[in-house]
């Protein structure tokens, strides 16, 4: 497994430094599985503390369809043949059809009872309820439509990450057609196993544990890492070690993941992030073909003008830019994980 990094230096006379001749590096890193590169650039900014959203929360709460009791009155209901109860509930979570679906089986889980939850204040129990209710939905859809093998639980938290409703919610998809990520990775996981006789994630864990630079923690069931070539400004990868599909797994595994996820979110909040995307991927049965794993990427607007963190390079070249070294994120998160999980 190769962790390839190429440093490219740009040389210029620097107006910020008396026009001294300056050399500035770009670290171009190639993902060991996909061969896709990400660039870590020099851009010395500090994120300011996030804007206070409590006013927006107050306003949007008035007409929020995910708050109780509106969630039981204003959200769509499933046809009886899919979910006979109309909606699925579990603790704080309510699952209902996505009124603006992304696929034939596309649902939303309103996760929390509270309308506005700050990123460092997620109740682990509420995350668990959302994820377990999501798993239950995917399990039922897969039982009825076994061809829907591409399962995912996803999250756009806050408008900066594409969330159009403030109330924390997850999006569930069970499709017979894979997304680009699912198709490419299914092929790459298979190719890797054919070429090496081992599973990619097992080898990645071995490598990262030995190197120690991007390894965050091994909790009961999950290994947490920062990716060498991140898919966003920072990227946290959770690999489910026994790789059991999420629709078959023990609840304790989802509980373990929820605690790890809440810990990552607390770490990101400490870095002044206030928004993130999450995707938890799984196959229904053959976890070797598509091992269960999740990725969490913070989102932000860049000062001073609030520029998007996605520009032409990612949008059109499919090349992620970041200003944060994965090794630094891993180190910071590892301290927090130690406090939460011990070890």
Q: Is 64 in the site for Zn ion (CB under 5 A)?
A: yes
Q: Cβ of 165: how many Cβ atoms within 10 Å?
A: 17
* Residue pair 224/242 in contact by the 8 Å Cβ criterion: no
Q: How many CA atoms lie within 13 A of 324 on its CB side?
A: 27
**Least distance CB 173 / Zn ion (angstroms):** 22
Judged by beta carbon, residue 105 or residue 167, the one nearer Zn ion is 167
Alpha-helix residue ranges (DSSP H) falling in 104-225: 124-144, 180-196, 200-211
Which stretch in 85-93, 126-134, 159-167, 319-327 sits in contact with Zn ion by CB under 5 A?
A: 159-167
* Residue pair 232/277 in contact by the 8 Å Cβ criterion: yes
**Least distance CB 16 / Zn ion (angstroms):** 45
Sign of CA dihedral 84, 85, 86, 88: negative
Q: Is 169 in the site for Zn ion (CB under 5 A)?
A: no
Which 319-338 positions form the footprint of Zn ion (CB under 5 A)?
Answer: none
CA-nearest of 131, 106, 341, 142 to 223 is 341
**Least distance CB 55 / Zn ion (angstroms):** 15
- What is d(CA 322, CA 326) in angstroms, rounded to the nearest whole number? 9
Judged by beta carbon, residue 61 or residue 193, the one nearer Zn ion is 61
Judged by beta carbon, residue 116 or residue 201, the one nearer Zn ion is 116
- What is d(CA 36, CA 266) in angstroms, rounded to the nearest whole number? 29
**Least distance CB 275 / Zn ion (angstroms):** 17
How many residues of this chain bind Zn ion (CB under 5 A)?
5
Chain residue whose CB lies nearest Zn ion = 64
Contact letters (x/-) for Zn ion, 246-265, by CB under 5 A?
--------------------
**Least distance CB 79 / Zn ion (angstroms):** 25
Q: Where are the beta strands (DSSP E) in 82-132?
A: 88-90, 93-97, 106-110
Burial of residue 130 (number of CB atoms within 10 Å: 0-12, 13-18, 19+): buried
Which 95-134 positions form the footprint of Zn ion (CB under 5 A)?
Answer: 115
Judged by beta carbon, residue 89 or residue 213, the one nearer Zn ion is 89
Out of 32, 66, 245, 280, the only residue in the binding site for Zn ion (CB under 5 A) is: 66
Judged by beta carbon, residue 118 or residue 139, the one nearer Zn ion is 118
**Least distance CB 115 / Zn ion (angstroms):** 3
Judged by beta carbon, residue 26 or residue 60, the one nearer Zn ion is 60
Q: Which residues contact 143 (CB under 8 A, 6 or more apart)?
A: none
Q: Is 299 in the site for Zn ion (CB under 5 A)?
A: no
Q: Is 67 in the site for Zn ion (CB under 5 A)?
A: yes
Q: Is 167 in the site for Zn ion (CB under 5 A)?
A: yes
**Least distance CB 129 / Zn ion (angstroms):** 15
Which stretch in 60-68, 178-186, 196-204, 291-299 sits in contact with Zn ion by CB under 5 A?
A: 60-68
**Least distance CB 67 / Zn ion (angstroms):** 3
Q: Which residues contact 73 (CB under 8 A, 6 or more apart)?
A: none
Q: Which residues contact 329 (CB under 8 A, 6 or more apart)?
A: 226, 234, 236, 267
Reduced to 3 states (helix: H, G, I; strand: E, B; else coil), residue 130 is helix
Which residues sit at the interface with Zn ion, rule CB under 5 A?
A: 64, 66-67, 115, 167
């Amino acid at each position: 497994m190769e962790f390839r990094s190429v440093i490219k230096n740009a040389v210029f006379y620097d107006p910020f430094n008396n026009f001294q001749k300056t050399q500035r590096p770009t670290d171009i890193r190639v993902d060991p599985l996909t061969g896709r590169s990400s660039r870590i650039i020099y851009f010395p900014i500090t994120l300011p503390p996030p804007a206070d959203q409590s006013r927006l929360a107050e306003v949007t709460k008035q007409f929020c369809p995910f708050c109780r009791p509106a969630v039981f009155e204003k959200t769509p209901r499933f046809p009886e043949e899919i979910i006979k109860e109309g909606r699925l509930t579990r603790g704080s979570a309510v699952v209902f059809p996505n009124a603006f679906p992304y696929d034939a089986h596309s649902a939303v889980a309103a996760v929390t009872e509270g309308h506005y939850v700050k990123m460092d204040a997620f109740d682990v129990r509420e995350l668990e309820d959302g994820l377990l209710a999501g798993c239950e939905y995917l399990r039922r859809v897969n039982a009825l439509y076994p061809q829907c093998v591409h399962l995912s639980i996803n999250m756009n938290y806050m408008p900066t990450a594409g969330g159009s409703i403030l109330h924390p919610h997850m999006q569930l998809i069970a499709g017979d057609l894979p997304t680009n990520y699912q198709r490419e990775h299914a092929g790459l996981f298979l190719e890797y196993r054919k070429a090496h006789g081992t599973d990619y994630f097992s080898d990645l864990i071995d490598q990262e544990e030995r190197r120690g630079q991007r390894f965050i923690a091994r909790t009961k069931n999950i290994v947490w890492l920062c990716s060498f070539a991140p898919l966003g400004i920072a990227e946290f990868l959770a690999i489910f070690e026994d790789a059991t599909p999420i629709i078959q797994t023990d609840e304790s595994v989802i509980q373990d993941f929820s605690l790890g996820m809440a810990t990552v979110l607390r770490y990101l909040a400490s870095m002044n992030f206030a928004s993130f995307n999450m995707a938890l991927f799984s196959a229904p049965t053959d976890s070797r073909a598509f091992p269960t794993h999740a990725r969490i990427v913070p989102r932000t607007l860049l000062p001073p003008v609030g520029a998007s963190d996605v520009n032409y390079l990612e949008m059109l070249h499919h090349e992620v830019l970041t200003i944060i070294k994965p090794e630094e994120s891993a180190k910071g998160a590892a301290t927090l994980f130690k406090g939460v999980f011990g070890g």
